[in-house]
Structure 1
């Protein structure tokens, strides 16, 4: 059974309400957590592309990415858990694994299930919550992986949005 039902949460996937690129994050992370995510992506065989600016490079170790100079361009790791769903990881800081998804790609129950599976894989591997906030509204998650419940749960009332 699905963690979330589309009809119950579709307001949280409305680009006009949430912004088209909500913020997905694992708070209280570490360099080791980042490396665990990189290892998970490789282990699952998800298509991926790492780049620094316009230059596509092999995926480095998390420690190397996160220890770059402060004025260096922020690298991106594009990950496709399925051919039509993209997550873009941004290496802003070691203490928070963060990535964007495009809500226009996450419409309907099938895509919602793919997204929930992706969050669940990350949350289980790290043993930490994975939270989705409206774009630019960090600290107000609407859904997320709950470690204790071992599933994706609502963190806000869909009727309030």
Structure 2
């Protein structure tokens, strides 16, 4: 079965039964950190362009103010004491990713594991990570909430798919 999981053509990168422990909000925290390390302002702009190109619904805001999505260099060059802007992106109506412009060297976003239950939502999430990773040619990693630097899964550039990076937890 595992051989099939890696092939594209409607078959999932990851199988829900194999990875559901990593989507358990009680174990992982409900908002795990998803990140692309070793980035630049240009990489941020590439992601903004991808979001626009794919027509994903999105909303950019600074504090309570909703604004048009600016260029990455504009957002990332704001003053240090300015409020951290965020970009909410919905790859599908039920799945939300919240990008935070904290740093130009790491593209950082949160997802809510409560929205990512079951194979269908997992497929949407893997597809989202894969599109970002393929466009940037970089890994996209998911760490448990508050356990930065210990990714459990992510997009692997070599394999060109989302793979497990930790052993599933045995319940």
Q: Which residue of 99, 112, 131 maps to 1:102? A: 112
Q: Deviations over 1:106-161 (max 9, x none)?
A: 00000000000000000000000000000011100000000000000000000368
Q: Deviations over 1:12-61 (max 9, x none)?
A: 00000000000000000100000000000000000000000000000000
1:155 is the counterpart of 2:171: no
Q: Where does structure 2 lack aligned partners over 5 or more consecutive residues?
A: 1-10
Q: Which residue of 71, 74, 77 maps to 1:61? A: 71
TM-score by length of 1: 0.99
The two structures, once aligned, show a CA RMSD in angstroms of 0.8
How many residue pairs get aligned? The number is 161
The ranges of structure 1 where at least 4 consecutive aligned residues each deviate by more than 2 angstroms after the TM superposition are none
Alignment of 1:117-132 (within 5 A): 117-132=127-142
TM-score by length of 2: 0.93
Higher strand share: 1
Q: Where does structure 1 lack aligned partners over 5 or more consecutive residues?
A: none
Do the aligned partners of residues 160 and 70 (structure 1) sit closer, same or farther apart at CA in structure 2, a change above 3 Å counting? farther
